[in-house]
Amino acid sequence: MTELRFDGKVVLVTGAGRGAGRTHALLLASRGAKVVVADPGVAMDGSGHSNGPADEVVNEIKAAGGEAVASYESVSEEKGAAAMVEAALDSFGRLDAVINNAGIAAPELFEDHVAGDFRRMLDVHYLGTVFVSQAAWGYFVKNGGGRIVNTLSEGAMGMLNMQTAYGGAKGGVIGLTLALAAEGPKYGISANGIAPRVSSRMSSPEVLSHVNQRPAENFVRVSQMFPPELCSPAAVYLAHESCPLNGKMLVSGGGQVMRVAFMQNAGISSDNLTIEDIAGNLDTIMDMSAAVHVGVGAS
């Protein structure tokens, strides 16, 4: 198969200073893309600020012969999101794709979370994805299209502990992604999502120990199995102009790529539906053996 390259293309990657965002940016640059490395250099919980992470990735790309520019803005602010897109246009004259990867984490039990925890997660994960996507959307519409890749999480699917704030916000990103995919095709815009399985500071042995209430040493091997480099090919493919997908969600990590989707069965129907009808036919309602995909990503 012909090598998939990004020569002449410009891609904005948020949260690109560390973890999967960093490896997304490096892979894009190695395939010829000009990259906007957006990262405010915050701590895992969103506090603080440092230009260091973004600068380090930009320098790494340039040292390898690529082109990149840093942005230190926060995705949680509309002006910051707009500035990231402006950085692409000012530096490279165009924008072809956005990978919304920025994220924070502070896992705790639901009863131990306070309102501010939920707001912070929504500000970065959900609204951050909204603001960056919307800032790019107008340019994409005017210029005949573009690609949006949003970072999802299996935490939104009830697969991880202590994820009510983080997973709830990521659930919003899932809904946003599929809704964007419904609106985008008439403008030549696609929107897809990727749920990474990667070892990062948000999934370190220490964090996993806290989440699962087991010793940190139990998770060292797991962390070694999921380097971010093995997730990036799926994210970068979704950003490539040849990718035919729209409204699809992938899970990727440890060398695997899988699809996840919403499905619906035929259920039951009645002109005079009662509570007893539901109770008496619960097995049929719950049977997903003949279920079909629903939504814009149904095919």
Residues 6+ apart with CB under 8 A from 106: 44, 45, 46, 117, 120, 121, 165, 166
Residue 134: other Cβ atoms inside 10 A: 14
Average pLDDT over all residues of the chain: 95
Over residues 207-230, the mean pLDDT reads 84
Nearest Cα neighbor of 220 from 235, 232, 208 is 208
- Residue 237 annotated as catalytic: no
Under CATH, to which class is 10-260 assigned?
Answer: alpha beta
Over residues 215-224, the mean pLDDT reads 82
At 298 the pLDDT is 66
Rounded CA-CA distance 221/241 in Å is: 36
At 299 the pLDDT is 63
Is the confidence at residue 7, as pLDDT, over 80?
A: yes
Rounded CA-CA distance 122/65 in Å is: 37
At 209 the pLDDT is 78
Catalytic residue (one of 72, 126, 139, 166): 166
Name the residue with tokens 């509309």. 78
Is the confidence at residue 275, as pLDDT, over 90?
A: yes
pTM of the model: 0.94
Residues 6+ apart with CB under 8 A from 286: none
**What residue ranges do the domains of the chain occupy?**
10-260, 264-299
Q: Is 186 exposed, middle or buried (0-12, 13-18, 19+ CB in 10 A)?
A: exposed
At 295 the pLDDT is 86
Over residues 115-138, the mean pLDDT reads 98
Q: Name the band, by pLDDT with cuts 50, 70 and 90, for residue 205.
A: confident
Rounded CA-CA distance 265/243 in Å is: 29
At 124 the pLDDT is 97
